[in-house]
Amino acid sequence: MSVLRRSFVAALLLALVVPFVGAQSRRPITFEEFAAAKIVSDPQLSPDGQWLLYAVRSTDLTANRRTTRTWLAPVGGGAARQFPNEQTMASEARWSPDGTSVVYGSGGQLWIAPVSGGAPKQLTNLTGGASGPVWSPTGTHIAFVSAVYPDCRDDACNAAREKAKEASKVKARIADDLMFRHWNAYDEGTRSHLFVVKPDGSDLRDLVPGATYDVPPGPFGGSEGYAFMPDGQRMLFTAKDQGSADAWTTDINVYGVAVSGGSARVLTADNKGADQNPVVLPHGRMLLYASQRRAGFEADKWRLMGAELAGMGGRELLPTWDRNADGYVAAPDGKTLLVLAGDIGRDKYFRVTLDAAGKASAPQPVITEHNNTQLSIAKNGTVAWIRESASAPGEVWIGTLDASGVSGQRQFTHENDAHLAQFTLPPLEDYWFTGANGVKIHGWVMKPPQFEAGKKFPVLLLIHGGPQGAWLDAWSTRWNYQMFATGGYGLVVLNPTGSTGYGQKLTDGVSKDWGGKVYVDIMNGLNAALKANPWMDSTRMAAAGGSYGGYMVNWIAGHTNRFKALVSHAGPFNLEHMYSATEELWFPEWEYGGPFWNPAAMATQYRKFSPHLYAKNFKTPTLVIHGELDYRVPYTEGLSMFTSLRRQGVDARLVVYPDEGHWILKPQNSQLWYREFHGWLGKYLTKGPVP
């Protein structure tokens, strides 16, 4: 069947199915149906704004895997087709500057294909793979990253090293310094290096040969960490080259290097906080980057910086704006920026204009409904981005950047409309309350999908991680509001002290006070929700959290018995042990005021706010979940929590994943996670069966 024919049939079925389903009783969503939702991401507009590439990820629960495919659609309307063909699973698709070809990743390597059709050509065949393609503005080179052994001078050496490692019967790991493991992986000796290659596959070059650092810093940095200069002759990149101090410093820098080769030069050495994610304006005179002023603090405000490339003296462009510059995209004219920032529980885009002297205007909110990320902009002013909410996964939205902001905002893709039409997916309902020290705190409630006026429902309090983070009006594939509410629970979702998107003062307030103001905020917020929502049953309540949220659940276990059940995922339990077993030491040293052998830190933090000190008070049944590959919060923290509960006769259940890290990501593991979660809450809140 042709693409056009399939598109017509799909549209007809959607027109028939959606009204029919809407006329029936919608129902709560199950895990299998939740997993069947598609995840749309990475919209990329062609330079002329006439075409759009976007990625769609699907989950095969039976096969226990997820796959991503790329689609190409005309912006003006018409059928989408899989790119480059129906047989290829492509991702990270990026347009050439002239719009005639696309580079993409498939099978761990880079390929290139003409947009008009024709056979794709493989560009790389590297032992360490290739990802994160970025075109030079001149179209002469494509940058990407690949894992290499720093002392290898060619890929044959990398291949030989990998072969020898696989063949060896000895799997011991030996370390001489810290950061020997990070998040969920041990340091196996390779580093991510920045490469360039020409579109015909020639002139493959490592731009940082011998570098013992990663470009960009791991484990989450992507192609936002490097950029070409407008002439295509030089590149800027983000790296952390602090040697033995890597484990306890946040001093990341922006570097410059010639595409033709040569030594890299650090450009932001004066600032001892983090500097990252360079963007050069199209006219080539100004560099934008994000910077944190305070050394050692990973949640300091991300300031939007501007530097004249001729002199390279960075200055803050928005010094009075109390929000993070989480991302920024320059319009083709170089005079308009769209800046991404978390703001009151939602990611929004703000318009900033630059005058001839590079002075920035006050940010104007232009894309604000629900949660918005991943924006792309074309030369004609067309913008595309991902919008999601607590009630719907992300879809591509389209608009036009003009003098009024972003006009004509409309949903472009509809990958999940028919599927979601079957389910009751309640929205988040905002509310505010008074927290510690009289500070106004934001939160949400969500009704259960089974809600009926006049009936009482049990309550689930959700506590976010970080601790500097935030719950957002977004569709998560891990901690999903709908998947919690589907059990018949009303949700209380709070952004207490420490949360981002409400000003840096609130974010700062959790450091060196882990069990203080946050605990007060959470209890006050729960009380306010109960008072305003008489359908909530205060006699049947549970609390759950992961990472710092897991810490707070462990803290709650030692400080109140108001909950019938608790769920602690990857939560710190013994802060002294946590310090010596985690890997990013800058985090506990900032949060607790130093290592545990620092007398002041020991007296005011470790021996005050560690949940294990209050284990004698544990009485609430608790489900403890952890991944053995979690090196941020080592899984022994979960084991210790479980042991402390069971040794005292408190009902508890332990779920440990040997193949997961800080987050539970594999589809069937996630299925078990929710099954155990609802089994535990059902046992204590609704008297349901335990699986």
> Quick check: is 289 in a domain?
no
Distance CA 230, CA 196 (A): 15
> Quick check: is 615 in a domain?
yes
> Quick check: is 33 in a domain?
no
Long-range contacts from 436-439, C-beta under 8 angstroms, 24+ separation: 436/497, 436/516, 436/517, 436/520, 436/521, 436/524, 437/517, 439/497, 439/506, 439/509, 439/521
> Quick check: is 49 in a domain?
no
Residue 308: its pLDDT value, please?
86
Token pair, residue 40, equals 């749309």
Per the structure, the count of domains in the chain is 1
> Quick check: is 673 in a domain?
yes
**Torsion over CA: 166, 171, 172, 173 (sign):** positive
Q: Beta-carbon neighbour count of residue 154 at 10 Å?
A: 11
- Alpha carbon separation from 243 to 135, 188, 222, 240, 586 (Å, rounded): 31, 16, 22, 9, 14
Q: Domain of 501?
A: 423-574+610-686
Distance CA 100, CA 106 (A): 19
Q: Are 628 and 597 in contact (CB under 8 A)?
A: no
> Quick check: is 22 in a domain?
no
Residue 688: its pLDDT value, please?
61
**Collapsing DSSP states into helix, strand and coil, what is residue 207?**
coil
| E runs forming strands in 500-593 | 536-546, 565-569
Of 34, 3, 79, 87, residue with least CA distance to 414:
79
- Alpha carbon separation from 611 to 18, 148, 591 (Å, rounded): 50, 42, 15
Residue 129: its pLDDT value, please?
98
Residue 550 backbone dihedrals phi, psi, to 5 degrees:
-70, -40
Q: Beta-carbon neighbour count of residue 367 at 10 Å?
A: 23
Q: Which amino acid appears at position 13 of this protein?
A: L
Residue 20: its pLDDT value, please?
39
Residue 313: its pLDDT value, please?
74
Residue 156: its pLDDT value, please?
98
Distance CA 251, CA 460 (A): 39
Q: Are 478 and 664 in contact (CB under 8 A)?
A: yes
Distance CA 279, CA 338 (A): 12
**Read out DSSP for 426-474?**
PPPEEEEEE-GGG-EEEEEEE--TT--TT--EEEEEEE-SSSS----SS
Q: Residue 427 region, left (φ>0) first, then alpha (ψ -120 to 50), else beta?
A: beta
Residue 639: which CATH number?
3.40.50.1820
Residue 453 backbone dihedrals phi, psi, to 5 degrees:
-60, 140
Tell me: the pLDDT tens digits for 238-290? 999 999 999 999 999 999 999 999 999 999 999 999 999 999 998 878 999 99
Residue 404: its pLDDT value, please?
84
Q: Residue 6 region, left (φ>0) first, then alpha (ψ -120 to 50), else beta?
A: alpha
156, with CB counted inside 10 A (0-12, 13-18, 19+), is exposed
> Quick check: is 662 in a domain?
yes
Distance CA 22, CA 265 (A): 60
Entry pTM: 0.94
Residue 311: its pLDDT value, please?
57
**Collapsing DSSP states into helix, strand and coil, what is residue 119?**
coil
Q: Beta-carbon neighbour count of residue 172 at 10 Å?
A: 5
Token pair, residue 457, equals 């429902």
Residue 312: its pLDDT value, please?
63
Partners of residue 134 on adjacent β-strands:
143
The residue length of the chain stands at 691
Token pair, residue 209, equals 């040969």
Q: Are 235 and 265 in contact (CB under 8 A)?
A: no
**Torsion over CA: 287, 289, 294, 295 (sign):** negative
Token pair, residue 369, equals 């409904």
Rg over CA atoms, the chain: 26
Contacting residues for 13 by C-beta, under 8 A, at least 6 apart: 418
Helix 548-557 to helix 517-532 angle, to the nearest 10 degrees? Answer: 80
Residue 310: its pLDDT value, please?
56
> Quick check: is 266 in a domain?
no
- Kindly list the averaged pLDDT for each block of 10 residues, start to end, along the chain of length 691: 35 39 74 97 98 98 97 96 96 98 98 94 98 97 98 97 96 95 96 98 97 94 95 96 96 97 94 96 90 98 89 86 97 94 98 93 97 98 98 98 94 98 98 98 98 97 98 97 97 98 98 98 98 98 98 98 98 98 97 98 98 98 98 98 98 98 97 97 80 43
Burial 598-615 (b: 16+ CB within 10 A, else e): eeebbebbbebbbbbebb
